Amino acid sequence: MTTAPLESAGELRVGQLSGPYVAADVLARFLRADGRHVLFTGATADHATAVEARALRRGRSAAEVAAGFRAAIDADWQRAGITFDRIVRARRDRGYGRWLGTLVARLHADGMLATREGPLPYCAPCVRWLHGAHVTGGCPHCGAATDGTGCHACALPYDAAELTRPVCVLCSTPAEPLPCRRLFLPLERFREPLAAYWAALGTPERLTGLFAALLADRLPELPVGQPGEWGVPVPVAGHEGQRVDGRFEAAALELYGRGPDIGRPAPGETLHFGGLRDAVDHTVVLPALLLACRVPPEVRPRPRIRLSAAHGPGADRTWALDALNEFGSDAVRRHAVHGEGAARARAVLDGTWNHWLGQLFASVEELSAGRVPWEAPGGPGWPEHRRRLAHTVRLLRAAYGDGGADTFDPHRAVRLLDATVRMTQALPRAVELPQLAGQLSVAAALTAWAHPVMPEGARRLAGALGVPAGGPVTLDALTAPRPGTLVRPPSAPVFGF
């Protein structure tokens, strides 16, 4: 499972957190609990031109900006409960820069890269070549306002030299085109294998249309090097003073996340989480890079793409850390996959989940001296309730991705979890010990069933019941804690704190 590399040029917003990271973490947690091997990778794009552009605006070094925001991003991921198996930090990881430089040198030596001299936007007042985040203009394909990194509207790849009406981001001066020699990776030589790869992908309709648009014309040439001072140097004679292009490096970061051995196949089924433009890096730049290394991209098992709208018009622009501190990780994660808003998510958790658990803890104290009763679950309506829960957990497993990427629907998983709590609330209030044991078994089940979406609350509930959190999402989890166990209700709300 891969996620789009995140530029260390700013703190996370809720929309960015929601798109790839929370959804991917929900799936990873479910699969791990099920005993399946998962490799969940992420990366920080520390060499992105957005880092340098922000440093120039702030009067700081790019290295300071990258280090500061990388630490902030790490803290946001940790506070949100994102559990990567591997994170590539481009600026910090030893060996990465050398690996990337060696990769570029190898591709050049193998004749896979072409040197082209052509116009590139230049800002005379700033004495700076304009590419990536240093330049804005019109997309050469759809006309939308964009920058040199890529268009969020149509996502079709282009070079900064193709922007219409290019303007310097730093001083707003219209750019002038000056000749510049750079390295490019021509995609046309890989037309047939790329077309076969795209046809085999399990991709959303928007990507399918994008592939068709690419194949309708000569495939583009992707820049590999750009003039500048920030990033990994291009180790090719005649290109001194140039750095590896950010979009090319984004694909390399994902490849490095699997392990530095390029020839090693991906470990089983692959699923990528990211926005449309990031998905183009994953489905166009990455397979082209593999083909240039004479490694055919895998099509069995069928790779999958899950698109998010982290930068779209409906994306939540709230700072992630602010939302996490105000509403807690359970509410923010729930909002991330359900889209109800963090405040509404916490209101539902307080009014439904925590209200029911508070009543349950009070009943345990009143009827059983604060301990799990020895009686088996039972009472009026319990057999039918258990049958309904058995059906619910089958649906929940499918929503969590038990049937593969095609069934993964965390939005539906939240609805099923809410239904579980509401159904249990609707049972007659526990006045006998078998009824109490039944409701305690539902609470114990939620320490497993809710854990992929709301791990913090699930762990807090597990601590109160004296059971382990994060077990498999199965009907077996519907088991009351060990009889005689002292129930220790937390002083704070269980979910959404």
Assess whether 297 and 441 both reside in one domain. Answer: no
Residue 487 three-state SS:
coil
Residue 118 three-state SS:
strand
**Which residue(s) pair with 135 in the sheet?**
168
The whole-number pLDDT of residue 260 equals 64
Residue 6 three-state SS:
strand
Is the confidence at residue 139, as pLDDT, over 70? yes
Q: 387 pLDDT band (50/70/90 cuts)?
A: very high
Assess whether 338 and 300 both reside in one domain. Answer: no
The whole-number pLDDT of residue 365 equals 97
Q: 297 pLDDT band (50/70/90 cuts)?
A: confident
Q: How far apart are alpha carbons 390 and 383 in whole angstroms?
A: 11
The whole-number pLDDT of residue 316 equals 74
Q: How far apart are alpha carbons 167 and 459 in whole angstroms?
A: 51
Q: What is the CATH number of the domain that holds 84?
A: 3.40.50.620
Mean pLDDT over 418-434 rounds to 94
Choose the final residue of a domain: 307, 336, 361.
307
Which percentage of the chain shows pLDDT scores above 70?
96
> Within 13 Å and on the Cβ side, how many CA atoms surround 401?
25
Assess whether 273 and 408 both reside in one domain. Answer: no
Instruction: List the structure tokens of 413.
Output: 């998983």
The alpha carbon of 264 is separated from its chain's Cα centroid by a whole number of angstroms, namely 23
Q: Is residue 312 part of a domain?
A: no
Cβ contact 187:194 at 8 Å: yes
Q: Is residue 493 part of a domain?
A: no
Instruction: List the structure tokens of 222.
Output: 């992707």
Q: Is residue 315 part of a domain?
A: no
Render 237-248 in DSSP notation, one character per residue.
Answer: TT-TTEEE-HHH
Assess whether 47 and 187 both reside in one domain. Answer: yes
- Residue 324: give the domain boundaries: 320-477
Q: 375 pLDDT band (50/70/90 cuts)?
A: very high
Q: What is the CATH number of the domain that holds 367?
A: 1.10.730.10
Identify the CA nearest to 475 among candidates 388, 352, 384, 360.
388
Mean pLDDT over 53-81 rounds to 96
pLDDT digit string, tens, across residues 118-134: 999 999 999 999 999 99
Q: How far apart are alpha carbons 202 and 302 in whole angstroms?
A: 6
pLDDT digit string, tens, across residues 195-236: 999 998 877 888 999 999 999 999 999 999 999 999 999 999
Cβ contact 182:120 at 8 Å: yes
The C-alpha angle with vertex 16 and arms to 50 and 149, in degrees rounded to 5, equals 30
Q: Is residue 494 part of a domain?
A: no
The pair phi, psi for residue 400, each rounded to 5°, is: -80, -5
Q: Is residue 488 part of a domain?
A: no
Assess whether 167 and 145 both reside in one domain. Answer: yes
DSSP 342: H
Range in 63-67, 120-124, 314-318, 376-380 with the lowest mean pLDDT: 314-318
Q: Is residue 215 part of a domain?
A: yes
Assess whether 130 and 175 both reside in one domain. Answer: yes
Q: Which amino acid is at 415?
A: R
Range in 12-16, 266-270, 392-396, 410-414 with the lowest mean pLDDT: 266-270
Q: How many separate domains does the chain show?
A: 2
Assess whether 177 and 279 both reside in one domain. Answer: yes
The structure tokens 């079709």 sit at 156
> Within 13 Å and on the Cβ side, how many CA atoms surround 301?
10
Choose the final residue of a domain: 253, 275, 307.
307
Choose the final residue of a domain: 272, 307, 342.
307
Assess whether 185 and 248 both reside in one domain. Answer: yes
The whole-number pLDDT of residue 315 equals 62
Which percentage of the chain shows pLDDT scores above 90?
81
Range in 30-39, 43-52, 68-77, 315-324 with the lowest mean pLDDT: 315-324
| pTM for this predicted structure | 0.94
Instruction: List the structure tokens of 345.
Output: 């998510």
Assess whether 39 and 167 both reside in one domain. Answer: yes
The whole-number pLDDT of residue 266 equals 58
Q: How far apart are alpha carbons 431 and 237 in whole angstroms?
A: 82
Q: Hey, what's the torsion of the CAs at 305, 306, 310, 314, to 10 degrees?
A: 130
Is the confidence at residue 280, as pLDDT, over 50? yes
Omega within 30 of 0 (cis) for the link into 301 = yes
Is the confidence at residue 310, as pLDDT, over 80? no
Q: How far apart are alpha carbons 58 and 190 in whole angstroms?
A: 42
Assess whether 285 and 375 both reside in one domain. Answer: no
Assess whether 228 and 374 both reside in one domain. Answer: no
Assess whether 333 and 451 both reside in one domain. Answer: yes
Q: Is residue 487 part of a domain?
A: no
The whole-number pLDDT of residue 311 equals 45
Omega within 30 of 0 (cis) for the link into 260 = no
Q: Is residue 252 part of a domain?
A: yes
